[in-house]
Amino acid sequence: MGNFSELDMYLFGQATHYDIYKKMGAHVQTKDGIEGVYFDVWAPHAAAVAVIGEFNGWNETSHMMERLVEPDMGIYELFVPEAKPGQLYKFLIYTPDGGKLYKADPYAAMAEVRPGTASRIVAPFSYAWQDDNWMKERRKQENFWEQPMSIYEVHPGSWKKHPTAENDGFYSYRQLAESLADYVCDMGYTHVELMGISEYPYDGSWGYQVTGYYAPTSRYGSPEDFMYLIDYLHQRGIGVILDWVPAHFPKDAHGLADFDGQPLYEYADPRKGEHPEWGTKIFDYGKNEVKNFLIGSALMWIEQYHIDGLRVDAVASMLYLDYGKEPGQWVPNQFGGNENLEAVEFFRHINTLIRGRNKGVVMVAEESTAWPKVTGDVEDGGLNFSYKWNMGWMHDFLDYMKLDPYFRKDNHSKMTFAMSYNEYERYILVLSHDEVVHLKCSMLSKMPGLEGDKFKNLKAGYTFMMGHPGKKLLFMGQDFGQIQEWSEERELDWYLLDNPNHSHLSTFVKDLLHIYKKYPAMYEQDVSWAGFEWINANDSYRGIFSFVRKSKNGKNDLLFVCNFTPVAYDDYRVGVLNQRKHKLILNSEDAKYGGTDTKRQVSYTPKRQECDGREYSIGYPLPAYGVAVFVF
C-alpha cells in the first residue's frame, strides 16, 4: 500500500478530501522501516513524471514516478529514501508531444526563496501551540456579527524594514510578532489582516498572483515561524485574517498554468479560463479535483495554521463570466446568463463546510457588485459568507471626502446612502491598500485644504466611519497620516510620528478604536435599524451629520456629531432621544489631538427645546471640521 489509497482517490474525485494536503505533495514517512519522502502529484495528461531535486542531483531519469491506475485519476507517486527535509525538488512533467515542464509542487508546504522557483521538503511539524484559550473562545462565537471587529490590514514586508540589509530587509515572522502585536494592542485593533502570505513569485503582485496555495511565503521564514506569529498574536488577544486568492493564478512557467502540458487547474476554453485584463488563468470550478485543491488550501490555513478567517479576493471576478471581458471574450452559462454557476456552487460548498467545521471562523468576500445575498444563507439562495466588504460605501465616502467643503452640500447623500441598504448584508467598511496606491494618493493626501485642514478632515472622516454600522478595516499607515502612497518596496514613514500633526492623528484614531471596543452600541446591532438612528441626515447646507448608535440593553448609547465644513458654531444644537445626561467622550478639538481646548464641559443635560424634530436637545460648541461623541 502506497501513500495514496483508493479511498483517497475516491474522496479527491468527489471534492471531499478535506485533508488532501496531508497526502499530496512531499511527506516524510517510513516505509518498510526506511525513512524517506513520499511524493504525490496530479498530472493526468502527462506521458510520464519524474521527481528531481537535491537528493538526486536533479537527475531527470533516476526517479520516475509510478502512475496509480486503480482507478486511474492521473496521480503519480514515488517513495524516495534519499530525500531529506530541507532539500529542494520539482516535478518534471513529460508531455505526450515530447516536451518537458519543470513544475513546482502545487501542494508544497514551503518554497525556495524567490527568485528561485523550486519547492522545499518540510519535516513533519512539531510546533507546540500555546493558544488553547483563544481557540476555545473562538469556538464559542455563535453570533460573531455581534462582536467588535476592527481590522488592521498589514503587508508584512513593508510594515517595517529591518535595519540590516540581510534577507532583503524583511523582518522574519518571529521578529515581526512582538512589535506588530504591541502596535495592534496599543492602538486598539481587534484583528490583523495579512496580505501576501501564500507563496508568490513577484513582489509587485503583493501576493495576489499565487503559485503556492499551501505554503506561507519563505520571504519571512519557515512554516513553523509563521505558526509562531499566529500563535503569538492569539496569545495577545488578536485575531488573524488571511488574504486568500481562489479567483485566478499567474502564468509563471513553474506554476499551475498548463500544469501537465494542457489546461488542468484552469478552464480549457480560454474564454472561461483566462482574464484578458489581468493576464492570469481562472480556476475550473466545475472540476472536482480543482475544487478539492482550493478547499484543502482554505482548510489547511484554518486548521493547521489556526487562521481565524479568510478574506476571499476578487469574488466578483469569479461570480461573473463576463467580468473584465468584452463581447466575444466570454461564454454564457447553460441558461444564457453571465453568472458562473460553478463558482456559485463552489462558494456555497466551501463557506458552509468551513463555517460548519470551524465555529467562529469568518469568510469575508471582497465583492464589488450588487450580487444579492452574499452573506445570505444557502437555503435562501445566498453564498453564506460571514461578511462582505462594503465597496459601495467606500467609493461614496471617498468621493465625498475628496471634495472641497463648498461642494459637499450637493453630495450629502453620498454619506447617507449606505444606510438604505445596510440590512441586506453583513458589511465591513474598508479603507484598504487598494485605495492608497497607483496615483490614488494616501488617505491624508486625498483630503482638501491646507495641511491643518487635511488632518481635521481625516479625523472627521474616521469618526464617521467608526460610528457608521459595519465592522471596520484600515490599511497600515493611514492611522497616522502616511503622506506617500503605499509601496511594497519601502517601509511606512514611521518618522512622521515625530511630527505633532501625525502623532495627534494617531492618538485620535487610537482613542476612536478603544471607544469602538468599549461600547457594545458600536458593534452589537450592525445589521439592524435597532442599532442606529439618524438624528439629522439632511443638514446638507451646513455639512453636518448626527446619529445615534444603540446597544441591545439601551445602556451607554452613543451620539455622534460630525461637521464636514470649516464653519464653527458656538452653540450648535442637536436633538437627543431622551433627558439623560450626555457625557462628552471624544472631542476633536481637545488639546491632545492638536486642538485648542484644554478644558471643555464634559456633562450636558438636555433641555426641553425642540431641535431636529426632537423634544429635547443639547447645545455644544462645534468647531470647524469638528466631531463630538457623547455617551448617554
Q: Quick check: bond before 276 cis, omega within 30?
A: no
Q: Considering only CA atoms, which of 45, 228, 37, 175 is closest in space to residue 119?
A: 37
Q: How far apart are CA 23 and CA 15, in angstroms?
A: 14
114 three-state secondary structure = coil
Q: How far apart are CA 66 and CA 59, in angstroms?
A: 17
Angle at which helices 341-357 and 288-303 pack, to 10 degrees? 30
Maximum separation of any 2 CA atoms in the chain, in Å: 91
Phi first, then psi, for residue 61 (nearest 5°) are: -130, -10
Catalytic residue among 366, 425, 435, 557: 366
Phi first, then psi, for residue 280 (nearest 5°) are: -125, 170
Which residue has cell 532583503? 168
588 three-state secondary structure = coil
With contact defined as beta carbons under 8 Å apart, do 138 and 147 qualify? no
With contact defined as beta carbons under 8 Å apart, do 298 and 245 qualify? no
Q: How far apart are CA 1 and CA 29, in angstroms?
A: 13
| Structure-block grid coordinates of residue 11 | 474522496
Q: Quick check: bond before 71 cis, omega within 30?
A: yes
Q: Considering only CA atoms, which of 174, 180, 204 is closest in space to residue 194?
A: 180
Phi first, then psi, for residue 287 (nearest 5°) are: -100, 120
- Residues linked to residue 67 through DSSP beta bridges, in sequence order: 76
With contact defined as beta carbons under 8 Å apart, do 110 and 69 qualify? no
Q: Considering only CA atoms, which of 460, 456, 626, 467 is closest in space to residue 535?
A: 467
Phi and psi based region of residue 314 (left: phi greater than 0; alpha: psi -120 to 50; beta: remaining): left
User: Residue 313 catalytic?
Assistant: yes
Q: Is the dihedral of CA 10, 75, 340, 364 positive or negative?
A: positive
User: Residue 342 catalytic?
Assistant: no
Catalytic residue among 77, 274, 289, 313: 313
With contact defined as beta carbons under 8 Å apart, do 333 and 339 qualify? yes
Q: How far apart are CA 590 and CA 593, in angstroms?
A: 6
Q: CA 93, 94, 100, 105: dihedral to nearest 10 degrees? A: 0
| Structure-block grid coordinates of residue 508 | 485620535
| Structure-block grid coordinates of residue 504 | 495627534
Q: Which residues contact 167 (CB under 8 A, 6 or more apart)?
A: 219
Q: How far apart are CA 233 and CA 163, in angstroms?
A: 23
User: How far from 606 is each of 476, 573, 583, 585, CA to CA, in Å?
Assistant: 40, 10, 11, 16
Q: Which residues contact 130 (CB under 8 A, 6 or more apart)?
A: 231, 235
Give the residue numbers annotated as catalytic, written as ranges: 313, 366
